[in-house]
Amino acid sequence: MANLLWMHGGACNGNTQSFLNAEEPTVIDLVTDFGINILYHHSLSMEFGDQVRRLYDQILNDEIPLDIFVVEGTIIQGPNGTGHYDMLMDRPKKDWIWEFAHKAQYVVAIGDCACWGGIPATKPNPSESIGLQYLKGERGGFLGSQFRSKAGLPVINIPGCPAHPDWVTQILVAVATGRVEDVLLDDLQRPQTFFKTFTQTGCTRVQYFEWKEPVEEFGQGTRKGCLFYEQGCRGPMTHSPCNRILWNRQSSKTRAGMPCIGCTEPQFPFFDLAPGTVFKTQKVLGSIPKEVPQGSDPLSYSVHAAMARAVAPKWAKEDMFVP
């Protein structure tokens, strides 16, 4: 039995909604089969009123042990560091989050907002939002870079906007079943088992990437081609298993024809959504992608690309995803 408390800060509830799409296990299986005791979740619990307040007090007084503390949403610090922009029971919510984080065996940040600040922390960051242990790519965040939960781990970051339900449920099951030592974290504190591969890994458009054939335009144009060249797809530069563990058991954005926007990386939304950056590949010298797959550089990439395009087989220029 593992006690779990779920709290939302500056959140859209999208991670909870995503979580509710889970199968194998479903959210209900998680409770009934895996012994995860949800002490309180704002969308799932029946307890309300004084019961919740009492529960919070009992956790903070060490009467109820807190095994897993899950945070969804940013930590809102505005205005001027007061936290008055997000109040819970007449207290800044950030103060509750601080206290629970220091009581928990494990602290899990679910979604970009809790990991790095996400969309609310986009310039000018009106709510002074911050992630639990990062602000965008900068380590530290709300809890500080030295923070360790009681079990000795930093915050476990499960990013994504939203996080995929399986990334969440599998990590919760690992923690609840005593396999947490198998959860290896990368340098952004993300579980490597999910975030070592690229979004592109498993993308159905990868053959077009190989032969450097672009999607010319959205819609009927996506019956062939790769979205990297014109539509700003970040699949080759983004770490996620979106094309290994499909969304809603069916598809992924890139499979459907939408460019990856890099939402598992701390810089999301990229370029702060400046004019000319949405769904458009940033280029140098008019044609060479400014950002190229990790470990490559624009010059060697463009040499490789020119050769690939020159020797591309005929089918690489034809529609593949036909009616």
Partner 1 sequence: MSMNKQEVTTKRQKMEIKVHSLGRVEGDLDVKVAVEDGVVVDAWTEATMFRGFEMILKGKDPQAGLIVTPRICGICGGSHLTKAVYALDTAWSTEVPPNATLIRNIAQAAETIQSIPRWFYALFAIGLTHRNYASSKLYDEVVRRWAPFEGEHYEAGVVVSAKPVEIYAIFGGQWPHSSFMVPGGVVSAPTLSDITRSISILEYYRETWLEKILLGCSVERWLENKTWTDVLAWLDEKPEHRDSDLGLFIRYSMEIGLDKYGAGPGRYLAMGNFFHPQKYRYPTIEGRNVALIARSGVFDGKAYHDFDQARVREDHTHSFYRGGGSFHPFEGVTDPIDPTEGQKEGKYTWAKAPRYDLPGIGEISLEVGPLARQVIAGRPGAEEWQDYDPLFLNIINEIGPSVMVRVLARLHEAAKYYLRMREWLRQIDLHEKFYVKPKELPEGRGFGATEAARGALADWIQIKDGKIENYQVVTPTAWNIGPRDRHGQRGPIETAMIGVPVKNPEDPVELAHIAQSYDSCLVCTVHAYDAKSHKELAKYEVIKI
Evaluate whether 294 touches 236 at the Cβ level (below 8 Å). Answer: yes
Q: Which two tokens stand for residue 116?
A: 């790095």
Residue in the structure block whose two tokens are 């900068």? 138
Question: Does 207 participate in binding partner 1 (rule CB under 8 A)?
Answer: no
Residue among 120, 110, 118 at smallest CA distance from 189:
110
Residue 126 C-beta: closest distance to partner 1, Å: 3
- Between the alpha carbon of residue 245 and those of residues 62, 131, 168, the distances in Å are 38, 25, 12
Q: Amino acid letter at 168?
A: V
**Closer residue to partner 1 (CB): 125 or 197:** 125
Question: Does 315 participate in binding partner 1 (rule CB under 8 A)?
Answer: no
CB atoms within 10 A of CB 54: 13
CB atoms within 10 A of CB 47: 12
- Kindly indicate which of the ranges 131-139, 178-186, 188-196, 246-254 contains the residues binding partner 1, using the contact rule CB under 8 A: 246-254
Question: Does 217 participate in binding partner 1 (rule CB under 8 A)?
Answer: yes
- Kindly indicate which of the ranges 98-106, 143-151, 179-187, 266-274 contains the residues binding partner 1, using the contact rule CB under 8 A: 266-274
Number of residues that bind partner 1 (CB under 8 A): 90
User: Which H, E and C letters describe 152-206, residue by residue?
Assistant: CCCCEEECCCCCCHHHHHHHHHHHHCCCHHHCCECCCCCEHHHHCCECCCCCCCH
The residue within the footprint of partner 1, chosen from 178, 219, 295, 313 (CB under 8 A), is 219
Residue 150 C-beta: closest distance to partner 1, Å: 26
The residue within the footprint of partner 1, chosen from 3, 75, 109, 120 (CB under 8 A), is 120
Three-state secondary-structure class, residue 54 = helix
Residue among 108, 102, 110, 80 at smallest CA distance from 92:
80
Q: Which of residues 185-204 bind partner 1 (CB under 8 A)?
A: none
**Closer residue to partner 1 (CB): 105 or 264:** 264
**Closer residue to partner 1 (CB): 246 or 288:** 246
Interface mask toward partner 1 for 144-183; x: CB under 8 A: -----------------xx---------------------
- Kindly indicate which of the ranges 38-46, 140-148, 180-188, 189-197 contains the residues binding partner 1, using the contact rule CB under 8 A: 38-46
- Kindly indicate which of the ranges 72-80, 180-188, 202-210, 294-302 contains the residues binding partner 1, using the contact rule CB under 8 A: 72-80
Angle between the N-to-C axes of helices 50-60 and 93-101, in degrees from 0 to 180, rounded to the nearest 10: 40
The residue within the footprint of partner 1, chosen from 33, 57, 81, 84 (CB under 8 A), is 84
Question: Does 256 participate in binding partner 1 (rule CB under 8 A)?
Answer: yes
Residue 220 C-beta: closest distance to partner 1, Å: 5
Burial 235-256 (b: 16+ CB within 10 A, else e): bbbbbbbbbebebeeeebbbbe
Residue 287 C-beta: closest distance to partner 1, Å: 19
At residue 72, φ and ψ (nearest 5 deg) are: -120, 130
**Closer residue to partner 1 (CB): 69 or 270:** 270
